[in-house]
Structure 1
Amino acid sequence: MDISPLQRVRYDYLPKLPAILREPMGSILPVKGENTNPASDAEAIKALFPNTCGLPTVSFEKGKDAAISQIRNVGVILSGGQAPGGHNVISGLFDALKAANSENRLYGFKGGPSGILENSYKEITADFLKAYRNTGGFDIIGSGRTKLESEEQFKVCEAVCKTHDITALVIIGGDDSNTNAAVLAEYFAKRKNGIQVIGCPKTIDGDLKNEAIEISFGFDTATKTYSELIGNIERDANSAKKYWHFIKLMGRSASHIALECALETQPNVCLISEEVEAKKQSLASIVEDIANTVALRAQDGNNFGVILIPEGLVEFIPEVKVLIQEINDLLAKEAEAYALCSDDNQMFAFVVERLSSESKSVFNLLPEGIKKQLLMDRDPHGNVQVSRIETDKLLAEMVATLLKKMKKEGTYNGKFSSMTHFFGYEGRCAFPTNFDSDYCYSLGYNAFLLIAGGLTGYLSSVKNLSAPALEWKAGGIPITAMMNMEQRHGEMKPVIKKALVELEGKPFKYFEAHRAQWARETCFVFPGAVQYFGPTEVCDRTTVTLELEQSGK
């Protein structure tokens, strides 16, 4: 058996489109809305993007478009980390392209942005695409994290596009990838070379989000996958009644995944990085809060529980955040000198000598293993790789130490055994849910219509996502409308502003209102496996986060 029965059936699933995108090709027109402004730092962004900043939002309406049938060659790039549904973005783009004109061609650049720099591509055909429809992963053409930021790279991109008569590029990625798309679109617009650039919003972290982008694709599938695993662990904990499970979840810059999984499963504790930062909680106070929850449950004879931890928590703890920023800047500016260090002790000494007194104290208090993890190779953006920092183990060890002290003091009389987990890669390439299958297909289909409308520097947008797919609203938003200036590699750079968990938003407020009960009582919910067949309320439902955000609209 070459493929699983589920895989075979999913190939034949027909994704649902918004009503406007179901109209025949040639019967849909873009309609311009209000002009936009950058999220912040407007003057700096306008100076860097004079040709693509301040563009209007776009929606679609019925109308005759005779030019849509002209022959077009389009390139597509998968960029950044994998997210469920990427294959369906390409499927939607391909189907729209061919519906407009069967002579149109789609080139998939292999291995991410480096594919276009190396002219490494695969022409995507109907037969080739069959094996990827409605499946997870980015293996159709692969992905990568190469940044497109130099004029030399832009010239290569332009030359490769001219070689294949490509008049539009679609970049499927997260905030950094779509920042690349905006910069490339600006360069092409300045050159007046006729090459358009359209982005599609991908990231399981959920931090590419605003009024026009209600959810990034992959978030729905990933959180449902993690929630199934968390529910399984909750069931096991409630059965064995002897372990506290510390579960770290993906989400570097924002806690959307942790919050959604908490709303799905109702664990005893869920840390929200944004709240930790807002309350200026120290590492010690976080540990104390967890230990007090453990002690309270022990009073009821419940020496077990589940704790959810966002991957990027350490960067939101004030004293640790300052430490990490100092280390990031230090390793960026003194990379050559640091590279001469031959062992851990030399590395530690090199860093300690150059830290502020406050950060030096924090660094010296950390276990050696965490110190090593803080000094690991940076990611392509110059940041610490927080996925490799074992925050789950750090907290479990510190809680165990505090509970021993509390036991000696007579304030705790339970039993504590911990297990640690990290759920990350398990969710990035899962079979997409029906929601993500439909949403991603719509994003790709919509991307072609933005191209056909002559637009560039836009992000494909599909809204009203808590409603049935027929009622979704398709359109586009200028990428520059989401941008601000941030420090990267020691320099100020234009980037898409990350959307963090809003502490005044409905999802967090719901969590806040219930977490005290979940902490003391065993209120576990067991979501079970993702369902593809059956009642709509089971198979097509979106996230709890989106339902709460759009309730009462």
Structure 2
Amino acid sequence: MEKSALQKERAAYQPKLPKALNGAVKVKEGAPTQSVDNQEEIKNLFPNTYGMPVVEFVESDEPNNKRINVGVILSGGQAPGGHNVITGLFDQIKKLNPENRLYGFILGPNGLVEHDYMELTKEIVDDYRNTGGFDMIGSGRTKLEEEEQFEKGLEILRELDIKALVIIGGDDSNTNACVLAEYYAAKNCGVQVIGCPKTIDGDLKNEQIETSFGFDTATKTYSELIGNIERDCNSARKYWHFIKVMGRSASHIALECALQCQPNVCIISEEVEKNDMTLNQIVDNLCQVIAFRASQGNHFGTVIVPEGLIEFIPAIGRLIQELNDLLAAHGAEYKDLDADAQREYIIAHLSKENAATFETLPADVARQLSLDRDPHGNVQVSLIETEKLLSDMCAAKLEKWKAEGKFVGNFAAQHHFFGYEGRCAAPSNFDADYCYALGTSAAQLIANGKTGYMAIVKNTTRPAEEWVAGGVPITMMMNMERRNGKMKPVIRKALVDLDGNPFKTFVGCRDRWAKETCYVYPGPIQYWGPSEVCDQPTKTLALEHVK
């Protein structure tokens, strides 16, 4: 395939590994574990993969030459570094035994079910080292949750003599990996299943998983773009820029970009929920900042809006929960109605409180809330133009204030949504190293007979050779949540910790950022140069590990 000059140079980059993964390893096991909540329910659902210990890899004098074929699946949305997970996995299984083979299932989990695959050879893998995207084998969002799917997958695994499957994905995808691992363990199929923590949203993390891969690169990409807008904003001095950034539920991306760029306003959904704020209160707070800056002669500014904000406004969150249940139960009779009839249907079937909330929403937002869900039953919040909704409401309120003499000046808005721009970026040195180490760890978990585990790498604010690699039982991260009207086992999402150091650092600065123009222009990701520039982790990760 055609390569850019950057890609040719990056192909020669050798990712750094934790010291323990550079040679033969053995497993050091910790104490038995339990799920984060609903322990009895999770234990009953996963009797064969529950309670296993966290494991750590340590150096060994005895090489492992295990003969094993491995399958790999990229699942869910793209995240920078996915190819390096595969290259780390490939290099390590070949290092264990040159006869080992790696098979990639095409376009996600559906490739396993439909027996669509390709063998990943050295020639193929070498073309994708240190590149962004998932285009080596593609990704998909098919859920693996039905026995028929498991059995269809087992047919091709046996045909190719695949003894282990690595699923690279986010919280929902790794929940599916856990379900699959349990099914194959219960049937004694001899197939191991290992997960890898992927999502640019940053919400797949806990005490064992310090960060999900892709978050570093995506936030640095978005921060470059936001910095460019801030520079333009500070040059023209006539627009307020409302910038929505990805993060379906948690506000980690918004918070990280704020810490990097220092915008005038950054809304944190988790804080909105905690303070039981209404949409009108959010708009009122924004207008106060806009009016103050106008009084100082500054008719411009930047606002960062998290993608999932609308779900965290408590009244709207309650509405969405009931809408989810309503559409899960009655979607078939609802979907063929025209737009007006759909609106009437929803209002007639909602509780009085939620119907009242639905009726107060602008028509386009109400419509977007009642669109089809994604495959996991979630509202497709990326389709809701929250940034435009907020600026329109600000414009209306400021016009009212102007008539009352409370606002003197001009307000003009520009709108941006940064999502796809960051998902397939060429991985930063951090993500290139981190992902390669995750792939290597996944191979070692397989070689050491583990299943139902997620590969992990810890101590990531230190130099890569000091990182600590291992695995955590996926059941340890699970609880029961309502999905599509039913209680299901899922990995608990990590939201922004309002008591955590990253958020507290932001809170300590935001009043000054609101009043003054304190913009920082991070610039593009750097791949060569001083380590403090090229290998730095995100500000979120650094602040979380301040001793």
TM-score tier, shorter chain, comes to over 0.9
Match of 1:319 in 2: 315
Amino acid of the structure 2 residue aligned with 1:357 = K
* SS of residue matched to 2:488: strand
> Which of 185, 191, 195 is matched with 1:195 structurally?
191
Q: Distance in 1 between matches of 2:409 and 2:150?
A: 62
Give 1:328 deviation, angstroms: 1.2
Amino acid of the structure 1 residue aligned with 2:13 = Y
Amino acid of the structure 2 residue aligned with 1:456 = T
Give 1:325 deviation, angstroms: 1.2
Match of 1:5 in 2: 5
The answer to whether residue 393 in structure 2 is matched with residue 378 in structure 1 is no
> Which of 50, 67, 91 is matched with 1:71 structurally?
67
> Which of 384, 387, 390 is matched with 1:389 structurally?
384
The answer to whether residue 235 in structure 2 is matched with residue 239 in structure 1 is yes
Amino acid of the structure 2 residue aligned with 1:41 = N
* SS of residue matched to 2:181: helix
The answer to whether residue 136 in structure 2 is matched with residue 177 in structure 1 is no
The answer to whether residue 51 in structure 2 is matched with residue 44 in structure 1 is no
Match of 2:100 in 1: 104
Match of 1:305 in 2: 301
> Which of 394, 413, 416 is matched with 1:418 structurally?
413
State TM-score, norm by structure 2: 0.99
Let me know the Cα RMSD of the aligned residues: 0.9
* SS of residue matched to 1:76: strand
Match of 1:28 in 2: 25
* SS of residue matched to 2:442: helix
Task: Please give the per-residue CA displacement for 1:441-460, whole angstroms capped at 9, x wherever unaligned.
Answer: 00001100000110000000
Match of 2:395 in 1: 400
Task: Please give the per-residue CA displacement for 1:125-170, whole angstroms capped at 9, x wherever unaligned.
Answer: 1001111110000000000011111111111122211111110000
Q: Distance in 1 between matches of 2:497 and 2:378?
A: 23
Match of 2:126 in 1: 130
> Which of 151, 154, 160 is matched with 1:158 structurally?
154
> Which of 357, 378, 381 is matched with 1:362 structurally?
357
Count how many residue pairs are aligned between Structure 1 and Structure 2: 547
Amino acid of the structure 2 residue aligned with 1:39 = V
* SS of residue matched to 2:54: strand
Q: Distance in 1 between matches of 2:219 and 2:2?
A: 28
Match of 1:531 in 2: 526
Instruction: Please identify, of 354-363 and 394-403, the stretch whose mean Cα deviation from structure 2 is larger.
Output: 354-363
Q: Distance in 1 between matches of 2:186 and 2:358?
A: 47
* SS of residue matched to 1:35: coil
Give 1:310 deviation, angstroms: 0.4
Q: Distance in 1 between matches of 2:173 and 2:19?
A: 29
Match of 2:341 in 1: 346
* SS of residue matched to 1:69: coil
Amino acid of the structure 1 residue aligned with 2:17 = L
Match of 1:16 in 2: 16
Instruction: Please identify, of 157-166 and 392-401, the stretch whose mean Cα deviation from structure 2 is larger.
Output: 157-166
The answer to whether residue 525 in structure 2 is matched with residue 517 in structure 1 is no
Give 1:2 deviation, angstroms: 3.1
- Within a 5 Å distance, the mapping from 1:417-496 to structure 2 comes to 417-496=412-491
Q: Distance in 2 between matches of 1:184 and 1:127?
A: 31
Q: Distance in 2 between matches of 1:16 and 1:537?
A: 15
Q: Distance in 1 between matches of 2:38 and 2:129?
A: 40
Q: Distance in 1 between matches of 2:230 and 2:163?
A: 52
Which runs of 5 or more structure 2 residues have no equivalent in the other structure?
none
Contact 2:21–2:59 under 8 Å retained in 1? no
Amino acid of the structure 2 residue aligned with 1:472 = W
Q: Distance in 1 between matches of 2:424 and 2:224?
A: 15
* SS of residue matched to 2:73: strand
Amino acid of the structure 1 residue aligned with 2:47 = P
Match of 1:53 in 2: 50
Match of 1:296 in 2: 292
Amino acid of the structure 1 residue aligned with 2:2 = D
Amino acid of the structure 2 residue aligned with 1:362 = T
* SS of residue matched to 1:170: strand
Amino acid of the structure 2 residue aligned with 1:493 = K
Match of 2:255 in 1: 259
Task: Please give the per-residue CA displacement for 1:508-530, whole angstroms capped at 9, x wherever unaligned.
Answer: 00000110000000000000000
Amino acid of the structure 1 residue aligned with 2:418 = F
State TM-score, norm by structure 1: 0.98
Q: Distance in 1 between matches of 2:253 and 2:58?
A: 34
Q: Distance in 1 between matches of 2:71 and 2:62?
A: 23
Q: Distance in 2 between matches of 1:88 and 1:351?
A: 46
Q: Distance in 2 between matches of 1:2 and 1:326?
A: 50
Which runs of 5 or more structure 1 residues have no equivalent in the other structure?
none
Amino acid of the structure 2 residue aligned with 1:32 = E
Give 1:3 deviation, angstroms: 2.1
The answer to whether residue 223 in structure 2 is matched with residue 227 in structure 1 is yes
Q: Distance in 2 between matches of 1:462 and 1:449?
A: 13
Q: Distance in 2 between matches of 1:22 and 1:389?
A: 47
* SS of residue matched to 2:244: strand
Task: Please give the per-residue CA displacement for 1:331-377, whole angstroms capped at 9, x wherever unaligned.
Answer: 11011210231x21111111111112222222112222112211211
Instruction: Please identify, of 55-64 and 446-455, the stretch whose mean Cα deviation from structure 2 is larger.
Output: 55-64
Q: Distance in 2 between matches of 1:317 and 1:169?
A: 40
Give % identity: 60
> Which of 519, 523, 541 is matched with 1:546 structurally?
541
Match of 1:204 in 2: 200
The answer to whether residue 270 in structure 2 is matched with residue 274 in structure 1 is yes
Task: Please give the per-residue CA displacement for 1:60-99, whole angstroms capped at 9, x wherever unaligned.
Answer: 1122445x21311000000000000000000000000101
Runs of 4+ in 1 over 3 A off after TM superposition: none
